[in-house]
């Protein structure tokens, strides 16, 4: 293998894939990246067996070949090289890396031992603009669980309902649902939230379309020169739609900034109580107040004007509320609930038909 690439392109590709390479695996080769010539391009790949990322970059290929080399060392080396052309020359299992006044030799491992995700032979494909996909996934992924003892809740649930494709995440304490696109296809798959987080990272500045292909075992996201493949989570997702209330005894509408501000101030006094804040509404005064107590430090009440229908009191986690407000669209937010023990539903007029965020109350 002998080729030339630019430092900028190789550095970008290594930054995209290297984080997936596993340093804790019992398989040492998983801490390597695979360099492989594909026609007139160089593919840079990494995997941890559950997720695989490949980034293709343009190159001047003199002779073809492949090798795996330590991901961390290669990324650190290339990021510190000057901009310009880098020569890569493979001699047996030693990769010679030359750039202007810098010369390095890196010991590699044969690519024959590198695990490769099988191709999706027969799958369904949808294509979405990267901007809307990023926004939708960002609204949902915050609600996914990190508790590996309940693997189903660590996934993003792609499911079809009434000819629409929805994505959903829940950790048992909150739930986020987003309408992704219309579809005539039956879909019910669970994508690891960790794969979605990696996808959001690697397509951060990409503005084209993203192609999504999936079957019963895997899902492939293709965005320009980058591909991410992930194994799906096996399991049955809870019937979450029965948790979403249809009617409410208390409805509050107010500017999102106002609710964000009084929640932030109240959260300062809620640190001792795991973020517990109590929301009070007054239909007579047309306002909402948030009360929090720090037993050793004091207490706080913050109030904002709002359109209120129905008096009510509910206690909830301030962090969950702030994170929900951070991903809601529009200038105004609606908060709806039915007493102290029922779910709290947040939405905005701009996205009320496409995005719903639910937070379970705390027992006060």
User: What are the structure tokens assigned to 47, written together?
Assistant: 């995997």
Measured CA to CA, the distance from residue 322 to residue 260 in angstroms comes to 7
Here the contacts of 219-225 (C-beta below 8 Å, separation 24 or greater) are 219/189, 219/191, 219/195, 220/120, 220/123, 223/130, 225/55, 225/56, 225/57
Contact 37, 95 (CB under 8 A): no
User: What are the structure tokens assigned to 268, written together?
Assistant: 């300062």
Confidence band for 274, pLDDT divided at 50, 70 and 90: confident
Contact 55, 71 (CB under 8 A): no
pLDDT, residue 26, reads 79
Higher pLDDT, 349 or 43: 43
User: In this prediction, what percent of the chain has a pLDDT beyond 70?
Assistant: 99
Confidence band for 273, pLDDT divided at 50, 70 and 90: confident
Higher pLDDT, 4 or 24: 4
- All structural domains of the chain: 2-113 (3.10.150.10), 124-242 (3.10.150.10), 244-359 (3.10.150.10)
Question: What number is the average pLDDT over the span 162-191?
Answer: 94
Measured CA to CA, the distance from residue 292 to residue 106 in angstroms comes to 58
Strand order in the sheet with 32-38: 66-70, 32-38, 41-47, 51-58, 226-231, 218-223, 209-214, 124-129
Contact 29, 68 (CB under 8 A): yes
Angle at alpha carbon of residue 253, lines to 249 and 255, rounded to 5°: 160
Higher pLDDT, 231 or 117: 231
Sign of CA dihedral 333, 339, 340, 342: negative
Query: 273: helix, coil or strand?
Result: coil
pLDDT, residue 364, reads 64
| Helix/strand/coil percent split, the chain, to 5 | 25, 45, 35
- DSSP readout, 7-55? HHHHHHHHHHHGGGS-SSSSSGGGGEEEEEEETTEEEEEEE-SSEEEEE
Measured CA to CA, the distance from residue 118 to residue 28 in angstroms comes to 21
Residue 351 has pLDDT above 80, yes or no: no
User: What are the structure tokens assigned to 6, written together?
Assistant: 């630019």
Contact 178, 139 (CB under 8 A): yes
Confidence band for 90, pLDDT divided at 50, 70 and 90: very high
Length of the chain: 364
Residue 174 has pLDDT above 70, yes or no: yes
Contact 322, 260 (CB under 8 A): yes
User: What are the structure tokens assigned to 196, written together?
Assistant: 């979605």
Mean pLDDT lowest among 115-119, 210-214, 217-221, 264-268: 115-119
Which stretches within the chain are classed as H helix?
7-17, 71-80, 130-141, 193-202, 256-268, 318-327
> How many CB atoms lie under 10 A from the CB of residue 14?
25
pLDDT tens string 181-229:
999 989 999 999 999 999 999 998 899 999 999 999 999 999 999 999 9
């Amino acid at each position: 293998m002998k080729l030339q690439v630019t430092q900028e392109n190789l550095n970008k590709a290594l930054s995209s894939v290297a984080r997936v390479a596993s340093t804790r695996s019992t398989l040492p080769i998983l801490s390597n990246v695979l360099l492989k010539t594909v026609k007139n391009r160089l593919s840079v790949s990494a995997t941890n067996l559950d997720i695989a990322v490949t980034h293709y970059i343009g190159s001047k290929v003199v002779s073809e070949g492949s090798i795996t080399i330590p991901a961390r060392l290669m990324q650190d080396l290339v990021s510190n090289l000057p901009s310009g052309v880098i020569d890569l020359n493979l001699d047996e299992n030693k990769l010679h890396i030359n750039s202007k006044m810098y010369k390095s030799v890196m010991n590699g491992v044969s690519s024959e031992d590198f695990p490769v995700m099988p191709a999706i032979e027969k799958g369904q494909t949808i294509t979405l603009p990267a901007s809307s996909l990023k926004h939708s996934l960002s609204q949902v992924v915050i609600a996914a669980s990190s508790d590996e003892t309940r693997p189903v809740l660590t996934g993003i649930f792609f499911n079809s309902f009434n000819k629409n494709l929805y994505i959903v995440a829940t950790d048992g304490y909150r739930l986020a649902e987003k309408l992704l696109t219309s579809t005539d296809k039956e879909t019910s798959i669970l994508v690891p939230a960790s794969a979605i987080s990696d996808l959001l990272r690697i397509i951060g500045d990409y503005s084209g379309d993203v192609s999504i292909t999936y079957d019963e075992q895997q899902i492939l996201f293709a965005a320009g020169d980058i591909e991410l493949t992930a194994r799906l989570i096996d399991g049955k997702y809870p019937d979450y739609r029965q948790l979403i209330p249809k009617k409410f005894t208390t409805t509050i509408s107010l500017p999102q900034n106002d609710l964000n501000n009084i929640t932030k101030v109240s959260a300062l006094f809620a640190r001792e109580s795991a973020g517990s804040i109590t929301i009070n509404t007054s239909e007579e005064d047309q306002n909402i107040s948030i009360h929090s107590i720090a037993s050793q430090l004091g207490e706080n009440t913050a109030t904002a004007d709002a359109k209120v229908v129905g008096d009510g009191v509910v206690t909830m986690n301030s962090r969950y509320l702030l994170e929900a407000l951070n991903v809601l669209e529009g200038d105004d937010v609606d908060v709806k609930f039915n007493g102290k023990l029922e779910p709290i539903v947040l939405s905005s007029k701009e996205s009320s038909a496409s995005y719903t965020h639910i937070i379970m109350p705390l027992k006060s």
